């Protein structure tokens, strides 16, 4: 309901935190094993103090070569990225990196199920969009196509996911619809 939706929106969790919490729920119920991958870091210097943990004193963020989330559900390999936008009417494609699209295409070729979860933060609406639909826009954007995916496209071709109590974002129910 709208009330629930507003209430959850007030928690101040990021989409990533909401998904991590949902994944924890799915894991605890034996429904699926999906984890966010750690942020890739280039480690340059490490100190090994006596009697305490190794301390990294110089490191840099590296560009990820894959999407953020993957795992297994009902025997299927799932792979997806999650993105928020504060836009009201469309999702800007510049939120994706070429390597993420490439990775999703590779996973689909190997038989995986790939999609993206997009949150329109100011609308408090979340959609699952299949990767093939994302590719449609992505592949046209450098050939005179749109630089963003309109909200109406998510409404027509995506699957809207409504917040629940547990899991917070029941996205595996949406995955059931594309399997």
CB of 94 to a copy of itself, least distance (A): 20
From CA 104, how far away is CA 111, in angstroms rounded? Answer: 11
Concatenating the DSSP letter of every residue in 106-174 gives HHHHTT-EEEEEEEETTTTEEEEEEHHHHHHHHHHHTTT--SEEEHHHHHHHSEEE---SSSSS-HHHH
CB of 164 to a copy of itself, least distance (A): 21
Which of 9, 25, 8, 3 has the alpha carbon at shortest distance from 171? 25
From CA 62, how far away is CA 58, in angstroms rounded? Answer: 13
Residues numbered 61 to 80 that lie near Mg ion (CB under 5 A) are 68
Q: Are 158 and 133 in contact (CB under 8 A)?
A: yes
Question: For residues 59 and 166, which CB has a smaller minimum distance to a copy of itself in the complex?
Answer: 59
Q: Which does 81 bind (CB under 5 to 8 A by kind): Mg ion, a copy of itself, none?
A: Mg ion
CB of 177 to a copy of itself, least distance (A): 18
CB of 163 to a copy of itself, least distance (A): 24
Taking CB under 8 A as the rule, which mask of x and - marks residues 27-56 in contact with a copy of itself?
x--xxxx-x-xxxxx-x---------xxxx
Out of 18, 20, 81, 125, point to the residue binding Mg ion (CB under 5 A).
81
Which of 108, 128, 158 has the alpha carbon at shortest distance from 22? 128
Residue 103, token pair as written in the block: 């990775």
Question: For residues 18 and 68, which CB has a smaller minimum distance to Mg ion in the complex?
Answer: 68
From CA 78, how far away is CA 149, in angstroms rounded? Answer: 23
Total residues binding a copy of itself (CB under 8 A): 41
Residues that bind Mg ion (CB under 5 A): 68, 81-82
Residues that bind a copy of itself (CB under 8 A): 27, 30-33, 35, 37-41, 43, 53-62, 64-66, 70-77, 79, 103, 106-107, 109-112
């Amino acid at each position: 309901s709208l009330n629930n939706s507003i209430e959850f929106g007030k928690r101040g969790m990021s989409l990533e935190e909401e998904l991590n919490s949902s994944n924890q729920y799915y894991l605890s119920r034996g429904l699926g094993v999906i984890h966010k991958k750690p942020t890739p870091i280039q480690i340059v210097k490490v100190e090994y103090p006596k009697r305490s943990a190794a301390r990294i004193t110089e490191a840099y963020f590296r560009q990820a070569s894959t999407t953020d989330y993957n795992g297994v559900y009902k025997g299927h390999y799932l792979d997806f990225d999650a993105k928020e936008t504060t836009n009201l009417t469309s999702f800007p494609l510049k939120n994706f990196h070429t390597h993420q699209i490439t990775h999703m295409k590779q996973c689909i070729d190997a038989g995986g199920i790939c999609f993206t979860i997009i949150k329109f933060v100011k609308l408090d609406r979340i959609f699952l969009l299949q990767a093939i639909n994302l590719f449609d826009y992505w592949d046209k954007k450098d050939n005179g196509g749109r630089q963003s995916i309109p909200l109406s496209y998510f409404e027509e071709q995506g699957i809207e996911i409504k917040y629940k109590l547990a899991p917070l974002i029941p996205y595996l129910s949406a995955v059931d619809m594309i399997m």
